[in-house]
């Protein structure tokens, strides 16, 4: 399935139906009077967050959404039928933005959340409602309230408890494959990961979701490499795991580059709790690991955990630190019978 996290769509609610101009005409009834019914209400445009979706790819092929209008009223004081509401189903984590992307109009954070975005127009009044003691045969009627319309952007921010950041080839995909049920592509070249990946970690009776995003390079905020657009998918994370490749020429500089790009992006990423890990230590001896860990600790100002995503060394230590940062209320516990609760999100 192709991954798409932004889409622009057009939405329009239904207009209200017109009221009717009608007069009662029955045999033996001398003064029938007006009996025109009101028009029906137009359909609303409603957004609903549903489980099982993790991409906006459907909106690449369908960009226009119009709710039906209300039916017109008729004689015998019959009100026109209302237009059916138009329900647009979106993945959990979707935001509805204004056309200029400056304002968040709706934010969907849990399954089943429904929000009326555009309200349908009310139906027009039939001539029966205009009857007065001095206006016994009114011929005026309401045409119905008009529809509402808007171009909006849909932006998907994946829901994850933890996010992986680092330079390209820092070993993020290898790590997420080792600790989750994801099947991220691994290759010996930069930008192997071209779209976000989600995986579910099960560790020490705990369960939480990890997001892997494409690597950042210097100047990503200005569009270098893949850019920093995918950083939006880790804005909701409780903790970030910063992986640094032990084979880099300067591990401290590698750390600073990524942190500067996070700061340039904004979104509160630089203030999030983070864990720093020196990855790929299986290629180094103990003395070099100690030297590089000290350099990285000096650059980051926090304790550094040496790990290897391939051999599994230090991985449990990292997961323990991530769970500590996530907190006891997040994640899902494993049942006593060993069965784990279902997870709404699955890897892309």
Which residues are part of a known binding site for GTP?
Answer: 166-173, 212-215, 279-282, 308-310
Binding residues for Mg(2+): 173, 193
Q: What are phi and psi of 275, to 5 degrees?
A: -120, 135
CA distance 145 to 148: 10
The DSSP line for 12-57 is EPPPPPPPP--B---TT-S---B-PPPPPPPPPEEEEEETT----T
CB 93 within 8 Å of CB 41:
no
Task: Tell me the binding residues.
Answer: 166-173, 193, 212-215, 279-282, 308-310
Rounded Cα distance, 66 and 88, in Å: 10
- How many other CB atoms are found less than 10 A from the CB of residue 225? 17
Q: How many CB atoms lie within 10 A of CB 303?
A: 11
Residue the block writes with tokens 């029906």: 40
What residues contact residue 7 under an 8 Å CB cut-off, 6+ apart? 56, 59, 60, 63, 153, 154
Q: Please state, in angstroms and as integers, the Cα–Cα distance from residue 24 to each residue in 33, 75, 230, 306, following that order.
A: 6, 8, 65, 88
Closest CA to 196 of 174, 179, 171, 213: 213
Provide the b/e sequence for 25-37 (b: ≥16 CB within 10 Å): eeeeeeeeebbbb
């Amino acid at each position: 399935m192709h991954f798409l996290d932004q889409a622009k769509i057009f939405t329009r609610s239904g207009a209200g139906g017109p009221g009717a101009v009608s007069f009662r005409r029955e045999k033996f009834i001398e003064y029938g009077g007006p009996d025109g019914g009101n028009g029906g209400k137009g359909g609303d445009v409603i957004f609903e967050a549903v489980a099982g979706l993790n991409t906006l790819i459907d909106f690449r092929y369908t960009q226009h959404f119009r709710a039906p209008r209300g039916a017109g009223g008729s004689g015998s004081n019959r009100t026109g039928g209302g237009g059916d509401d138009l329900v647009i189903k979106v993945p959990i984590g979707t935001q509805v933005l204004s056309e200029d992307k400056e304002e968040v109009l709706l934010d969907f954070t849990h399954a089943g959340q429904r929000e009326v975005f555009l309200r349908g127009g009310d139906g027009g009044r039939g001539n029966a409602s205009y009857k007065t003691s001095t206006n016994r045969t009114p011929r005026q009627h309401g045409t119905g309230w008009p529809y509402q319309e808007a171009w909006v952007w849909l932006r998907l921010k994946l829901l994850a408890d933890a996010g992986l950041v680092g330079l390209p080839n820092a070993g993020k995909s290898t790590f997420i494959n080792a600790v989750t049920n994801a099947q991220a592509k691994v290759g010996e070249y930069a930008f192997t990961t071209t779209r976000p990946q989600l995986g579910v970690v099960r560790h020490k009776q705990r369960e939480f979701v990890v997001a892997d995003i494409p690597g950042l390079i210097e100047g990503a905020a200005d569009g270098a490499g893949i850019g920093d657009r995918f950083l939006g998918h880790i804005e909701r994370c409780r903790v970030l795991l910063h992986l640094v490749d032990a084979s880099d020429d300067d591990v401290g500089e590698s750390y600073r580059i990524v942190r500067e790009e996070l700061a340039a992006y904004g979104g509160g990423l630089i203030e999030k709790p983070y864990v720093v890990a020196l990855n790929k230590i299986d290629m180094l001896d103990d003395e070099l690991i100690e030297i590089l860990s000290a350099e990285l600790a000096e650059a980051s100002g926090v304790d550094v955990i040496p790990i290897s995503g391939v051999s599994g060394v230090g991985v449990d230590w990292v997961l323990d630190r991530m769970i500590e940062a996530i907190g006891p209320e997040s994640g899902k516990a494993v049942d006593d019978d060993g069965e784990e609760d279902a997870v709404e999100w699955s890897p892309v």
